């Protein structure tokens, strides 16, 4: 029998900056004079993402700065101080539960212009996790279902078949707990890879706030609305290429609804050329998926049926005399290749 499966999912994520448990991280460090390692008080430290202002702070008397409750993502740090060259540290990754420390060394302004440095990967994990998958890695995965991405990436996580429930740590599938942005979820996850900022998989040393599970805890952390309008469309097909006949189309759109201008420490609007810099305080993400499958479990040996004549013969005489002459046996026990 040929099965046809049609699945349509649509999710609308509207964000206003709410932070759920275990979906944020912390970025902290110290701004110092590169020549003597002394902390610089009241240096301006600005956090940027995709060229858009996120937060800004001034260092304390010892040169320390701290950004807490940051959404999971990748940031750039811009540091400025009177008499010193500006410093930009790019690609600072903040994961769920991470405490990232980045000390920033400034040099005398006479030594050169703005310096740009790449962030190193050093992370102090507050939540012990077995692994995590970033949004970029999810987008590069050869599979499109987010649960299949986990099964194909994380050691110890597997599914009996594509699209089926995960099993980890040798536990039953119902022992695993699935969350979206820190909130427990039941049933399949209606997300496509473009929605994912990070997938956090906890298999040991589980924090007390999760609890109530003996397998793994998978936390799908979704992206915040973009500061600029962005669109994503992707598709794949195996129609006419294999017996599964699978077709998938995914689409996602994101952008701001309400934006506010960025203010400096004096309360003045920060300009970007002749336009004010703005950040998103209310935005949207709209994503959906459409897929069909011709046969979810095609046979490796093909499908066979009885010839009409053999079928009529068996229907008329389902029991026949045993070859030994003792009693009756099922006529179907003596079907041969020529009868199919």
Q: Which two tokens stand for residue 213?
A: 């599970």
Exposure on the CB side of residue 101, measured as CA atoms within 13 A: 7
What is the distance between the alpha carbons of residues 218 and 25, in angstroms, rounded to a whole number?
17
Q: In what order do the strands lie in the sheet with 246-261?
A: 5-15, 278-293, 246-261, 230-237
Q: What is the pLDDT of residues 233-291, one digit of tens each?
A: 888 898 888 888 889 898 989 888 988 887 766 678 877 788 887 878 888 888 888 88
pLDDT tier at 111, thresholds 50, 70, 90: low
pLDDT tier at 2, thresholds 50, 70, 90: very low
Backbone angles phi, psi at 251, to 5 degrees: -145, 150
- The residue among 116, 108, 42 whose CA lies nearest residue 76 is 116
**How high is the mean pLDDT of the chain?**
79
Q: What is the pLDDT of residues 149-191, one digit of tens each?
A: 777 666 666 666 666 666 666 667 666 777 888 777 776 677 8
User: Considering only 71-75, 206-210, 321-325, 331-335, which range has the smallest mean pLDDT?
Assistant: 206-210
Q: Above 70 in pLDDT, residue 104? A: yes
Is 272 within 8 Å of 46 (Cβ atoms)?
no
Is 151 within 8 Å of 216 (Cβ atoms)?
no
- What is the H or E stretch that residue 315 is in? helix 308-316
Is 203 within 8 Å of 168 (Cβ atoms)?
yes
- The residue among 286, 146, 288 whose CA lies nearest residue 230 is 286
- The residue among 60, 58, 72 whose CA lies nearest residue 25 is 72
State pTM to two decimals: 0.60
- Cα angle 10, 135, 25 (rounded to 5 degrees) comes to 110
What is the distance between the alpha carbons of residues 326 and 284, in angstroms, rounded to a whole number?
77
């Amino acid at each position: 029998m040929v099965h046809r499966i049609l699945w349509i999912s649509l999710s609308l994520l509207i964000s206003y900056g709410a932070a759920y448990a275990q979906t944020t991280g912390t970025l902290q460090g110290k701004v110092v004079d590169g020549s003597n390692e002394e902390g610089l008080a009241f240096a301006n430290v600005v956090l940027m993402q995709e060229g858009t202002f996120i937060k800004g702070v001034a260092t304390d008397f010892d040169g320390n700065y701290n950004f807490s409750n940051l959404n999971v993502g990748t940031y750039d740090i811009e540091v400025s101080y009177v008499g010193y060259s500006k410093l930009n540290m790019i690609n600072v990754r903040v994961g769920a539960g991470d405490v990232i420390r980045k000390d920033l060394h400034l040099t005398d302004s006479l030594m050169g212009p703005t310096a740009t440095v790449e962030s190193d990967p050093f992370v102090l994990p507050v939540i012990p996790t077995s692994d995590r998958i970033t949004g970029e890695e999810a987008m590069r995965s050869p599979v499109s279902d987010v649960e299949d991405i986990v099964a194909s990436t994380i050691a110890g996580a597997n599914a009996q078949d594509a699209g089926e429930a995960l099993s980890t740590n040798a536990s039953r599938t119902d022992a695993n707990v699935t969350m979206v942005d820190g909130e427990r979820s039941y049933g399949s996850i209606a997300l496509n890879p473009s929605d994912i900022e990070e997938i956090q998989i906890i298999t040991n040393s589980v924090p007390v706030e999760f609890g109530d599970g003996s397998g793994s805890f998978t936390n799908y952390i979704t992206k915040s609305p973009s500061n600029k309008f962005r669109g994503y469309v992707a598709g794949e097909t195996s129609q006419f290429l294999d017996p599964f006949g699978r077709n998938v189309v995914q689409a996602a759109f994101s952008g701001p609804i309400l934006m506010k201008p960025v203010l400096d420490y004096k309360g003045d609007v920060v300009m970007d050329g002749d336009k004010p810099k703005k950040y998103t305080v209310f935005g949207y993400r709209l994503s959906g998926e459409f897929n069909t499958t011709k046969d979810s479990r095609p046979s490796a040996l093909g499908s066979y049926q009885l010839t009409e004549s053999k079928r009529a013969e068996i229907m008329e005489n389902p029991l026949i005399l045993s070859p030994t002459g003792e009693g009756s046996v099922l006529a179907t026990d003596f079907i041969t290749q020529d009868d199919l």
